[in-house]
Amino acid sequence: MKNLQKTYEVTQKAERLFEVTVPQTQFWEAMLYISTQTEFNTLSQIACTDWIEEEHFLLIYILTNDARDQNLMLKVTLGREYESMPSVTTLFPQAEVMERDLHEMYGIGFEGNETLYDFVLEQWNDLPPLRREFDTLAFVHEHFAFKGGREDNKDVKVEQKRRREEAKKQKALEAEKEEAEKPKEPETDTKETQDKKPDTKEAEDGQ
Amino acid sequence: MDNKLIKIFHGPQHPGITGNMSVELDLLGETIKYARTHVGYLHRGFEKLVERRTVIQAFTIVCRICVPEPDPNEENFARAVEGLVGIEISERAKYIRVMVQEMSRLAAQMLWMGGQSGSIGMGTVGQWSLFDRDLMLDLFEELTGGRVYHMYTYPGGVRRDLPEGFLLRLSELLDYLEKKLPKYDSIFFDNATFKKRAIGVGVIPKEEALKNGYVGQALRGCGIQRDLRKDNPYLVYDKLDFDIPVFDGGDVYSRALVRRGEMRESIKILRQVIAQMPTEGAIMQKLPKHRKFTLPKEDIYVATESARGEFGYYMAGDGTEHIRRMQVKGPSLIHGFTLLEKMLIDEELSNVAMIMNSLGICPPEIER
Amino acid sequence: MKFNTIDIKGIVSPFSAIGKVLEHPKTVCYPAQTKTVAPGYRGFHTNVLTDCIGCANCQDVCMNDAIDMVTIVEERNAKNKSGCIPRIDYGRCCWCNLCVDVCPPDSLALGEVCIQADEDSNKFLFFPKDSSC
């Protein structure tokens, strides 16, 4: 660990998890140094994230030591246009299958690895699927037919609005009807108020 | 007379294969000269599915990545999200999670016994062990609502509290299993047929085991004592007292004895958890609603010891409510390719199924 | 030969399995007997229609787009502002219980039934059984 801290800048992410970032040009030298001169001599996993907004892939090599109690993440950035990295299969034989997986899913080339044939997908001619521009929903709509029977699905917000408007209209109609039911009154002041009450009562009874 | 090399596909529909994969073999007589593993019959695209879903929606599909043993996946997902967001869970939730992990380990080892004995023709052992596993699944049904896919361990704790009297029923089941395990010794582990088939077959050389990244029983069967629960402890494993069984020999029989030892250690751990379970504590921390639960723009790596070895998850968030990347690496990725293709050279055709079962190769987690 | 001595214990001890013949069989004579289901089992959905307010929280959280909101034929709850109730596509549902967790009036629940076999696949577009008494 002390060797590592002398040569590279190490950040601690958690209790037993460390991180080192190197530019792509220094990657091979860093990997050789770390796997031979420090205690992190086993490869656990190679992970890759597609940061499409920043236009690069981030490759993370997760290394661990013999006592299996600490992990080191070695991070490298790579361009998105089908670039290549040097393969680490000469240092770690288990990297063969991990690089095959990344080659198939992202289109990253690994120089020195001759086993970059099909891993999981068969006869796949489209974009490498885990790239962010591959839209799985559009792919499904293009290649598969959905079973019918679910066309009467309604959007609840639209339904609520529609029912509110209908209820309002219904109320307005009923109020108009009530107005229309009332008989026409002559234009007198005091007599109107006296006569109105029995009239409205009759109207209610009539309904 | 010259023998020619004959190419056959051992799988994907074959009773001697642990799942849905095939091994392409070149045979000279009955001896294998070249082996290559083919996967791809079970690819469901989990890593891409998770990118379109929020955290709470993704938690429900993570358990389906590994079929024989779903719980380490849920635990890894929960710990990764908790590590990214910075949530601390209560002691009671930690003890319940340890209990679920160890119950799942016992169930997975019983399923392994059925597979390993079936691969050499001893069908009785599988019938017995699957019944005992069924009793464990009954307990899971009571606790989580489902028998195999639990969807129970959630970032922030667990989803439901323990039912009434659950710890008592678990303790009775452990008593029953402790009485049953010596019977498995007399029909399986001490059986002369199994010993004759398994000793000296499928040997892993000790010098390269650590460097090549082998995990789990592949290391412990060679005499190297490594277990994440002791080396890099998580949850409350540092407060519990248990041993790691190790056997020299590096062959199929040593790995079987390691698993037999692990079953007894799991029972020991479960008894301690029942005795030490705190009675108070929140089951689940308060979390934001699902469309507002955002992950910060950071990444993390977590690992859990499953019944077959170290299971690793790399997770990265991007400031929105979706997960940017979740990469899964199970123990079978290395064992199924690098180790198997080398080990099968100069082996006999009849030993392929036995070797695959002893390494515990599980295709669903290779190709998620 | 891998052994120099004969392993007597290894040859004789497996015969103890014959003792199992005297034990009671462990299988369940389905369908004459059925296995009891634990409480809290995640089976088919039930919905209390007099409480359901048609808010579509369940449709929003369902991670596989399995829930449709369909106009109810006969109104059961005056507070149901949209007039819709959930219908679940059992070809897509994974019984994860998220729809039950987010339901505000707690009307949707997962019951104990788990068996359905039919020739018509449209029967699997399932209206949760009305459990309001």
Average pLDDT score over residue span B24-41: 89
Average pLDDT score over residue span B90-112: 92
Contact of B336 with B21, CB cutoff 8 Å: yes
Is residue A192 predicted with pLDDT exceeding 70?
A: no
Touching check for A145 and chain C: CB below 8 Å? no
Answer yes or no: do C61 and B160 touch at CB < 8 A: no
Answer yes or no: do C16 and B186 touch at CB < 8 A: yes
**Lowest-confidence segment of A13-17, A182-186, B353-357 by average pLDDT:** A182-186
Chain C CA closest to residue B64: C94
Q: What is the domain partition of chain C in residue ranges?
A: 45-130
Collapse the DSSP code of A42 into the 3-class scheme (helix H, G, I; strand E, B; otherwise coil) and give the result. strand
Strands A71-79 and A17-21: parallel
Answer yes or no: do C7 and B138 touch at CB < 8 A: no
Structure confidence at residue B250 (pLDDT): 87
- Percentage of the residues of chain A whose pLDDT score is greater than 70: 87
Enumerate the residues of chain C whose CB falls inside 8 A of the CB of residue B142. Answer: 38-40
Structure confidence at residue B137 (pLDDT): 92
Is residue B75 predicted with pLDDT exceeding 80?
A: yes
Structure confidence at residue A196 (pLDDT): 47
Is residue A202 predicted with pLDDT exceeding 50?
A: no
Contact of C10 with C2, CB cutoff 8 Å: no
Chain C CA closest to residue A148: C122
Enumerate the residues of chain A whose CB falls inside 8 A of the CB of residue C89. Answer: 150
**Which residues of chain B are at the A interface, by a Cβ-Cβ cutoff of 8 Å?**
39-40, 43, 45, 47-49, 52, 83, 210-213, 226, 228, 231-232, 299-301, 303, 310, 312, 314, 316, 324-325, 327, 329, 333-334, 337-338, 367
CA dihedral in degrees (C13, B269, C96, B132; nearest 10)?
20
Average pLDDT, chain B: 89
Touching check for A194 and chain C: CB below 8 Å? no
Domain-located, residue B1: no
Average pLDDT score over residue span B197-209: 87
Touching check for A135 and chain B: CB below 8 Å? no
Answer yes or no: do C71 and A154 touch at CB < 8 A: yes
The total number of structural domains that make up chain B: 1
Contact of B258 with B215, CB cutoff 8 Å: no
Question: H or E stretch including B35?
Answer: strand B31-38
Answer yes or no: do B196 and C2 touch at CB < 8 A: yes
Give me the domains of chain A, ranges plus CATH numbers.
2-143 (3.30.460.80)
Q: What angle do CA A147, A148, A152 make, to 5 degrees?
A: 140
Listed as own residue / partner, the contacts of A111-115 with beta carbons closer than 8 Å and 24 or more positions apart are A111/A84, A111/A85, A111/A86, A111/A87, A112/A86, A112/A87, A113/A87, A113/A89
Question: Cα–Cα distance between B366 and B363 in angstroms, integer?
Answer: 5
Burial A169-199 (b: 16+ CB within 10 A, else e): eeeeeeeeeeeeeeeeeeeeeeeeeeeeeee
Question: Cα–Cα distance between C52 and C86 in angstroms, integer?
Answer: 9
Phi, psi of B25 (to 5 degrees): -120, 140
Identify which has the larger pLDDT, B242 or A187: B242
Enumerate the residues of chain B whose CB falls inside 8 A of the CB of residue A50. Answer: 325
Is residue B1 predicted with pLDDT exceeding 70?
A: no
Answer yes or no: do C97 and B145 touch at CB < 8 A: yes
Query: N- to C-terminal Cα distance for chain A?
Result: 93
Identify which has the larger pLDDT, B146 or A201: B146
Structure confidence at residue B78 (pLDDT): 92
Distances (CA, A) of A18 to A9, A25, A59, B83: 10, 21, 15, 14
Touching check for C109 and chain B: CB below 8 Å? no
Distance from CA of C70 to the nearest CA of B (A): 23
pLDDT tens column, B251-291: 899 999 999 999 999 999 999 999 988 888 888 888 888 78
Is residue A50 predicted with pLDDT exceeding 60?
A: yes
Indicate the DSSP class of residue B239: G
The tokens for A98 are 């991990």
- Percentage of the residues of chain B whose pLDDT score is greater than 70: 99
Whether the CA torsion A161, A164, A170, A172 is positive or negative: it is negative
Contact of A104 with A119, CB cutoff 8 Å: yes
**Res. A201 pLDDT band, cuts 50 70 90:** very low
Touching check for A138 and chain B: CB below 8 Å? no
pLDDT tens column, A15-43: 888 888 888 888 888 888 888 888 888 89
- Judged on CB neighbours under 10 Å (0-12, 13-18, 19+), A29 is exposed
- Which residue(s) pair with B348 in the sheet? B31
**Res. A197 pLDDT band, cuts 50 70 90:** very low
Enumerate the residues of chain A whose CB falls inside 8 A of the CB of residue B312. Answer: 44-45, 62
Touching check for A121 and chain B: CB below 8 Å? yes
Structure confidence at residue A186 (pLDDT): 59
Average pLDDT score over residue span B141-152: 89
Phi, psi of A96 (to 5 degrees): -55, -50
Can you say how many angstroms the Cα of residue B89 is from the centroid of all Cα atoms in its chain? 24
Amino acid at C88: I
Question: Cα–Cα distance between B171 and B177 in angstroms, integer?
Answer: 10
Domain-located, residue B62: yes
- CATH code of the domain in which B73 resides: 1.10.645.10
Collapse the DSSP code of C49 into the 3-class scheme (helix H, G, I; strand E, B; otherwise coil) and give the result. coil
Other residues' Cβ atoms within 10 Å of the Cβ of residue A127: 13
Is residue A206 predicted with pLDDT exceeding 50?
A: no
Answer yes or no: do C2 and B56 touch at CB < 8 A: no
Chain A CA closest to residue B367: A120
Average pLDDT score over residue span B321-347: 89
Phi, psi of B27 (to 5 degrees): -110, 140
Contact of A30 with A84, CB cutoff 8 Å: no
pLDDT digit string (tens) for chain C, length 133 residues:
445 677 788 888 888 888 888 888 888 888 888 878 888 888 888 888 888 888 888 888 998 888 888 888 888 777 887 888 888 888 888 888 888 988 888 888 888 888 888 888 888 888 888 877 6
Tokens 């678990």, located at residue: B170
Enumerate the residues of chain A whose CB falls inside 8 A of the CB of residue C122. Answer: 149
Question: Cα–Cα distance between B352 and A13 in angstroms, integer?
Answer: 43
Distance from CA of B193 to the nearest CA of A (A): 34
Answer yes or no: do B329 and A44 touch at CB < 8 A: yes
**How many residues are there in chain B?**
368
CATH number, span C45-130: 3.30.70.3270
**Res. B301 pLDDT band, cuts 50 70 90:** very high
Contact of B236 with B147, CB cutoff 8 Å: no
**Full domain range(s) for residue B314:** 6-367
Answer yes or no: do B57 and C98 touch at CB < 8 A: yes
